[in-house]
Amino acid sequence: MVNFAKIMMKKIAVIVAGGSGTRMGTNIPKQLLTINNKPIVIYTIETFLASWDDIKIILVMPETYLVEGENLLAEYFPNNTIQCVVGGATRFESVKAGLSFIKEEAIIFVHDAVRCLVSSHLIQLGYEKALVHGAAIPVISIKDSIRMIDGENSTVVNRDILRAVQTPQVFKSDILLPAFNQSYETSFTDEATVVEKMGHTVTLFSGEETNIKITVPADIEFATQVLLSR
């Protein structure tokens, strides 16, 4: 049994805000859209800051929105030294850009900025899992029937053996940082796949149904109701 009270590691969250507003039907990046007059990315950062007093945050923004990101941080978190850095053309490059500012041993969270409904409980659970296993990601069960398409044919896939992956994905720094020294591969769909390529095992833990990734207008409506209920 791990005594978490005796294990204190630095905590660093790399919040990746590289998405566009294409599927949302807007030219504004999704992370900058507002819910109740507050940008989505701000809700996300607030939850990480509420999880621990000593957590460090690195916000990765598209280059064209870097100044806007810095201005938002100054407005909402004037007393917090959150770093705002430029991302890359792919998620891999954006995460790598954020990780390049981490030099110390730590537990590292990588989280989608537009998953603004993440709870402190899930963040803290990921920390505990990573302390024990080194690499841990939240997942949820699939509710819909699933079919695999092959040309004009399709076959049913057993949904009981499938899981949808969420963030934050959480790792010890001595696992995650070396993994991102690899060359990019198209199979790298998230941080877990990068780590697995290095031979590490990734532990799964229960995610949250409300921890959705804001993608389409209906997600904004759902997030608004959840945030109001909190």
Instruction: Give per-residue pLDDT as tens, 158-177.
Output: 999 999 999 999 999 999 99
**What is the pLDDT at residue 106?**
98
> Which of the 8 DSSP states describes residue 186?
T
The reported pLDDT for the residue numbered 174 is: 98
| SS3 of residue 215 by DSSP | coil
Sign of CA dihedral 92, 96, 98, 103: positive
* Mean pLDDT within 22-49: 89
**Domains of the chain: which residue ranges?**
10-229
String of DSSP letters for 180-224? TTSPP-TT--SHHHHHHHTT---EEEE--TT-----SHHHHHHHH
Domain 10-229 -> CATH class: alpha beta
Residue 99 · residue 179 · CB < 8 Å: no
Whether the per-residue pLDDT at 200 is higher than 50: the answer is yes
Report the C-alpha gap between 7 and 2 in whole angstroms: 8
Instruction: Say which amino acid occupies 101.
Output: F
Q: What is the pLDDT of residue 26?
A: 72
